Amino acid sequence: MPDAVSLHGLLLPIRKAFNQYANIRPHRLLPGIEGPLKAEGFDILCIRENTEGEYSGAGGRVHQGKENEVAVETSVFTRAGVERILRFGFEQARARRGHLTSVTKSNAQKYSMVFWDEMTRQLAAEYPEVTVSQMHIDAMAAKMVMAPESLDVVVASNLFGDILTDLGAAIQGGLGFAASANICPDGSGPSMFEPVHGSAPDIAGQEIANPIAAIWSGAMMLDHLGEAGAASGIMGAIEAATRQGIGIRPGSHSTTEITDAVIATLEARA
């Protein structure tokens, strides 16, 4: 099935229908893991707008297959949508290390991204305890590679957040370590938790998939449901496994071996 069909036919409609406008992706190096670029100093929380922006699905194609074929894809940024994701980012920054980086491309996108920048500055006045930086997406990509220790919470649009979080996953060791949460912050609908890599059908049944991202996503779900102790226990078990060198490199251990190591720690601590 083409990626666009599964994305627009399933995942995006779920996020929109249940108002899961905040996509949360933690990026940090677990104990024992050396990423391809960093061995330490990498702990970033990426907040991605999840229901509009570049993935709103507004557009179309006409004259398909002809020389005059036209394809139009329109980004949609609403005041309500931009304000709520930025406010969510500010709240996360206030609860962490007090620094928010808002990512746009306002030098080139003079309407939508300038609007995003303006909203960032307006909300910053309500959060004087949070230090705010505004960066262009290209500079931000370089910053994540060269100086990630300077970053705390990063908030970005649907497309920019999507790209930056795959970069973050690579720096933290690969998609097998990349957990995510699709949050409906006001509780009007359910939230959804999933590893960034999705179902990975190309490697299904081969025992080579790293289950840590899926287990980490489960810990995020428990934390969201108010089970902070259980969430902490699962994260502790994951860290105990990686500290022993289990699952820290692709192919070093099977899916079952990594899972069993995490379960063994949980049972030992029960």
Contact 39, 29 (CB under 8 A): yes
Judge whether 166 counts as a catalytic residue.
yes
Torsion of CA 138, 103, 145, 220, to 10 degrees: -140
Give catalytic status of residue 21 as yes or no.
Answer: no
Active-site residue flag, 260: no
Q: Is 55 an annotated catalytic residue? A: yes
Token pair of 63 as six digits: 């004259």
Whether 199 has a pLDDT exceeding 90, the answer reads no
Catalytic residue among 21, 105, 152, 223: 105
CA–centroid distance for 210 within its chain: 18
Two structure tokens written together for 90 = 């500010």
Say what the pTM is.
0.92
What share of the chain has pLDDT > 90, as a percent?
Answer: 84
Active site residue 202: no
Average pLDDT across the chain, whole number? 94
Distance CA 22, CA 215 (A): 20
Query: In the chain, how long is the greatest CA-to-CA distance?
Result: 67
Q: Give residue 4's pLDDT band: very low, low, confident or very high (50, 70, 90).
A: low
Does the pLDDT value for residue 3 go beyond 80?
no
DSSP E strand stretches across the chain:
22-28, 43-49, 53-62, 70-76, 99-104, 131-136, 153-156, 179-183, 192-195
Which domains are delineated in the chain? 3-198 (3.40.718.10), 199-270 (no CATH)
Q: How far apart are CA 179 and CA 198, in angstroms?
A: 10
